[in-house]
Amino acid sequence: MSDASGKVALVFGGSRGIGAATVSRLAKDGHAVAFTYVSREDKANELVSAITAEGGDALAIKADSADASQLRAAVVKAVERYGRIDVVVVNAGIFRMATIDAVALEELDLMLNVNVRGVYLAIQATVPHLKDGGRVITIGSNVAIRTGSPGSSVYQLTKAAVAAMVKGIALDLAPRGITVNNVQPGPTDTDMNAGAIEMLSKMSPLKRVAHRDEIAGLIAYIARDEAGYMTGASLTLDGGLTL
């Protein structure tokens, strides 16, 4: 754990799964944490209560990552409450499977809007408020390297786009000492994999999926001062699945 007292994190998509584990971990490390959600107000409120009960400070904001104006409004609300942003984690993402013959235009647009355009716009909206020396952390996926199964082409292309965008944004923000890195989890114990954990565990060299706290642990490390020399990187934690 580190002492991030006085620092503020903003997590896009923080109400469940990897995002919620990240919100909790960053709060434990001392950050005040604002986070967005799109549908699960119940989960968002539960998380705020849990953090508050432990003496932390959290703010839940409803904002759809597919909507540019809602993303901008979320950043404004976080800054109004906390006055600064030191770390932004862009976690919101969706996963829909279909082979290319079955991908509907609406599904293609939605995945591009949330997983690619939403990531870029969330970073763009936050950058003017981000402290020099701050952190931008995206959540990609190991499928950017290898999917291994049909039906993942759209998801794969969105996550490969995230891995590519952090390189260019890292160069844009380097003069301000802001690092930009991408965490690429493999299968993790979240709602996104409901019903598939046993099958995914069998595929893994480690014979298990990741625990969401293991992903949050790497995110917490990147947020710390000691990680300040790494930028533009995509870091894969997938139990060896893509080896």
Q: Site residues (CB under 6 A) for ligand NDP? A: 13-19, 36-40, 43, 64-66, 91-95, 114, 139, 141, 185, 187-188, 190-193
Distance of closest approach, residue 37 Cβ to ligand NDP, in angstroms: 3
Q: Residues, the chain, total?
A: 243
CA dihedral 37, 39, 45, 46 (to 10 degrees): -100
Distance of closest approach, residue 202 Cβ to ligand NDP, in angstroms: 15
Distance of closest approach, residue 65 Cβ to ligand NDP, in angstroms: 3
Q: Are 50 and 6 in contact (CB under 8 A)?
A: no
Nearer to ligand NDP, 56 or 187 (CB): 187
**In whole angstroms, how far apart are CA 109 and each of 27, 104, 157, 158?**
34, 9, 12, 11
Nearer to ligand NDP, 38 or 165 (CB): 38
Nearer to ligand NDP, 2 or 201 (CB): 201
Nearer to ligand NDP, 56 or 118 (CB): 118
Residues with catalytic annotation?
155
Distance of closest approach, residue 183 Cβ to ligand NDP, in angstroms: 8
Distance of closest approach, residue 148 Cβ to ligand NDP, in angstroms: 13
Nearer to ligand NDP, 7 or 117 (CB): 117
